[in-house]
Amino acid sequence: MVTGLYIAAKLISLCTDPKSSRKFCLRRQLKPNKKIAKIIAENLVEDGATIQLGFGRIPYEVTNQLRGHRDLGVHAEMFSEGIVDLVNLGVVNNRNKTIRRGRIVASYTIGTEKVFDFINENPLVALYDIAWVNSLEVIARNPKVTSVNTAFEIDLTGQCAGDSLGNCIYSGVGGQIDYIRGASLSIDGRGRPIITMCSKNSAGESSIVPFLTDGSGVVATRAHVHYVVTEYGIAYLFGKNIRQRAHALINIAHPDFRESLEKSAFDRLKTMPSP
């Protein structure tokens, strides 16, 4: 266990590199990201929530949109400098958490020197083994667990490709499914698992698709997904049938693709998507 300290005596080995390996910045934001983050902060994150923000520009921007919130806590696989800003503003104080009340709980951090200066010898930060931090039972014991994670694609039934697109693997699976499940089972019944993405990818194609690209891995199944957010709004999928899911997702797709998605949904379902 590490509690916000660099304890040299406990290191097994140490490698040095003349190049800085500690700086990683996600500050550059696109307009849709800011709109998505605003939708999430204003509609899905309650005061007193225990938050987990995944890696990426949208989760990072969510921290900028949470500056008017109160009494947030952090229990997450990782955190970045956006959380540091919320601590300094008094937004994150961890006072309502059940697990390690008063402290940020995570397994690792990523960001610039600002993050590492913050955690160094800081008793407010507790870094634990990831197997414990991401344990479903542990996550769910916190109140109002609100997880925000990204996906590359989501199909019309709610399946999410979060680590790969086609045969190209971009990352590991990470803790996405742990926090989706943990939030959905939050002890007070007020957790909110959120998947988010821009309505268009970098190639200008729809991120909401009839079928996932061949070869894409399903990280979050349609049985687990609750909230999906794009810059066009929120789709709530949990407990809905396939026809209703398709309708909700088409409504938050980019307008340029809604007609073709409706046609694809009809071809797949043999009926029109409907609420």
Domain assignment present for residue 9? The answer is no
8 A C-beta contact, residue 39 and residue 231: yes
In a domain, 14, yes or no: no
The residue from 77, 81, 153, 231 that is catalytic is 77
Please check the confidence at residue 103 and state whether its pLDDT lies above 90.
yes
Q: Is the pLDDT reported for residue 6 higher than 70?
A: no
Q: Is residue 3 part of a domain?
A: no
Whether residue 220 lies inside any domain: the answer is yes
Provide the CATH number for the domain around residue 39. 3.40.1080.20
Our answer to whether residue 77 is catalytic in this structure is: yes
Has residue 256 got a pLDDT over 90?
Answer: yes
pLDDT digits (tens, 9 = 90+) for 154-169: 999 999 998 888 888 8
Overall number of domains in the chain? 1
Residue 45 lies in a domain: yes
Does the residue 13 lie in any domain?
Answer: no
Contact status, residue 192 vs residue 140, Cβ threshold 8 Å: no
Cα 25 to Cα 36, 118, 175, 261: the distances in Å are 19, 16, 21, 35
Domain around 70: 21-269
Write the pLDDT tens digit of every residue in 77-98: 999 899 999 999 999 999 999 9
Q: What DSSP line would sit under 119-138, residue for residue?
A: HTT-TTEEE--HHHHT-HHH
Is 93 part of any domain? yes
Whether the pLDDT of residue 99 is over 70: the answer is yes
Would you say residue 15 lies in a domain? no
